[in-house]
Amino acid sequence: EFGAYSIREIYERSNDVDGKYTVPILWDKKTKTIVSNESSEIIRMLNSEFNDFAKNPDVNLYPEDLVTDMEAVNDWVYPTINNGVYRCGFATSQRAYNVAIDELTESFDRAEEILSRQRYIAGDKFTLADIR
């Protein structure tokens, strides 16, 4: 819409010049601002906030009966897999890398063990935990 060359330009256009310039971002075209840059918040918003425009508004990837299970999965997936990849890549010492790669590998094994018993990571339905 406005031909931004970089993510930094998008942040600057929304008057955010102090933080880190990260993706993903959810941009509000009307107010010309960033609504969120946190992936877990964005996917929750996309699950329900745009149902008036959705092709399948009845699809709920955040079912109330699995919230506790999804949060329990996220408690280990986010720090050891999602963030674990970055911890490996940006490790500033061999020791830090070793810790991060061990946690990442253990979490891959844990996910594989869970998924060998059930189709989805947090239970019997496809949820945001499977996307994240």
Name the CA dihedral angle for 38, 121, 79, 45, rounded to a multiple of 10 degrees. 10
What stretches of the chain adopt beta strand conformation (E)? 26-28, 33-36
Reading the block at residue 52, the tokens are: 């008036």
pLDDT at 94 over 70: yes
Q: Which of 29-33, 103-107, 117-121 is the least confident region?
A: 29-33
pLDDT of residue 19: 72
**Between these two residues, 6 and 113, which has the higher pLDDT value?**
113
Backbone angles phi and psi of 51, in degrees to 5: -60, -30
| DSSP per-residue codes, 76-101 | HHIIIIIHHHHHHHT-SSHHHHHHHH
Q: How much is the pTM?
A: 0.77
Res 1: pLDDT: 58
Helical (H) or strand (E) element with 27: strand 26-28
Structure confidence at residue 125 (pLDDT): 95
Pick the more confident residue, 21 or 110.
110
